[in-house]
Amino acid sequence: MLKAVIFDMDGLLIDSEVISYKCYKKLIESYGYSFTMDDYVKDYPGKQLKVSLQFIKEHYHLDYDIEEKFQLFHHLEQKYMKEDGVQLKKGTQELLKYLQEHGYSIALATSSLSSRAHSILDEHDVLHYFDEMICGSDISRGKPFPDIFFKACERLNVLPSEAIVLEDSEAGIQAAYDAHIPVYCIPDLKQPGKEYAQKTKGILSSLLDVITILENM
């Protein structure tokens, strides 16, 4: 019996991936390298920021302090969010309301900072829907490792078989698959590759499709 739904945040609940791309682009191009959207979608969505900063440091053979770039990234992100705004994805409000009204437990499992996740969701008046929030600082290994989803099930007191995960990234799909939790993908910037699509229960066009699935279970 399904008891819980576990959500990713960036690219799934909020339309923030383009802002993240702009931040990485600003950082990498400051060292004289080009950085395209294709580069971003290939390696970055769903990953913890510090993991990505370490990847950049090694990939481009750069010498910088990770913590310094971590702070710079969040400064840039706040600047771009203030300038461009960040909107909820289609169906977010409707699905969260449906889940609450029908007695499902709801968790957030995001690589983001806790303060950032709370601020963004509170700003859009959806924070109150979440029973639990597991963020990057709550686990030692981020996606594609399954730790964050194990932690979500533990916090919600449900078995993996009693939950589903909603994700947009390949890293998130892999993490849910390895946690043995059924996962549905609502793609954002790219469709998952065949290897990852086969690990899902389905590829959906929006969060509204989840309501249809639940009503037919």
Q: CB neighbours of 140 closer than 8 A, spacing ≥ 6?
A: 147
Q: pLDDT band for position 184 (50/70/90)?
A: very high
Q: pLDDT band for position 153 (50/70/90)?
A: very high
C-alpha to C-alpha distance for 217 and 159, rounded to whole angstroms? 18
Please report which residue ranges of the chain form alpha helices under DSSP H.
17-29, 37-43, 49-59, 66-84, 92-101, 114-123, 147-156, 170-178, 194-197, 208-215
pLDDT for the residue 189: 87
pLDDT for the residue 6: 98
pLDDT for the residue 62: 96
Instruction: Tokens for 186, please give them.
Output: 């609502």
Whole-number average pLDDT of the chain: 95
pLDDT for the residue 48: 86
Contact 201, 185 (CB under 8 A): no
Query: Residue for token digits 């390949």?
Result: 170
C-alpha to C-alpha distance for 210 and 191, rounded to whole angstroms? 18
Mean pLDDT of 64-79: 94
Q: pLDDT band for position 69 (50/70/90)?
A: very high
pLDDT for the residue 55: 96
pLDDT at 138 over 90: yes
Mean pLDDT of 158-176: 97
Sheet holding 183-185, edge to edge: 132-134, 105-109, 4-7, 163-167, 183-185, 202-203
pLDDT at 151 over 90: yes
pLDDT for the residue 47: 85
pLDDT at 63 over 90: yes
pLDDT for the residue 212: 97
Per the DSSP assignment, residues forming a β-bridge with 33 are none
Output 210-213 pairs: Cβ under 8 A, ≥24 positions apart: 210/5, 210/91, 210/95, 210/166, 210/184, 211/91, 211/94, 211/95, 211/98, 213/184
Per the DSSP assignment, residues forming a β-bridge with 108 are 7, 133
Class of domain 4-15+87-215: alpha beta
pLDDT at 159 over 90: yes
Q: Where are the domains of the chain?
A: 4-15+87-215, 17-84
- Over residues 76-130, the pLDDT tens digits come to 998 998 888 899 999 999 999 999 999 999 999 999 999 999 999 999 999 999 9
- Over residues 7-37, the pLDDT tens digits come to 999 999 999 988 999 999 999 999 999 999 9
